[in-house]
Amino acid sequence: MCWEFYYPKYQQNLKEAERETELKTLHKYSGKFNWKTDLKKVLKTYPYKALILTNETKRILWVNDGFSEMTGYPKSYAINRSPVFLQGENTSEAVKLRISEKIERNKPFKEVVVNYRKNGEMYNCEIQIFPLTGSNNSIHFLALEREVA
């Protein structure tokens, strides 16, 4: 058989394996912080390329490989930073304010923000943010991100 027939299935299998690895990593954090959110449902329901997990002070704890592919920043660069390092000159102040207000409400939301890759290229980033509340009232945030037109 020809590779053209197997390649799409091969790519699909790789993507599914990557998603399972991401879910396992998030489940480790979930066990540590006792989140009540069904992470598997969230990841299966909403499209994303990048995953960003932040703590209550909005510092990044973890990102997936898709984050590096989408932004050009290595994972190690993102850890312990605020996601605002992705924003720049054309990032709307009104959008940033809406995001801050929505985060304070601790409710899931979706927004599109102008971000910048490491090489300076601007792109529209759709973010879907889910607050993750633990049994000890700790709050984390999981952002599912993808580039949109």
SS3 label, residue 54? strand
How many C-beta neighbours within 10 Å does residue 105 have?
A: 9
Which of 10-19, 69-78, 110-119, 127-136 has the weakest average pLDDT? Answer: 10-19
Handedness of CA 7, 44, 23, 79 (dihedral sign): positive
What pLDDT digit, counting tens, does each position of 82-134 carry?
999 999 999 999 999 999 999 999 999 999 999 999 999 999 999 999 999 98
* CA–CA–CA angle 21, 144, 61 (5° rounding): 65
Residue 41, phi then psi, degrees to nearest 5: -65, -45
Residue 144, phi then psi, degrees to nearest 5: -100, 125
Domains along the chain? 3-148 (3.30.450.20)
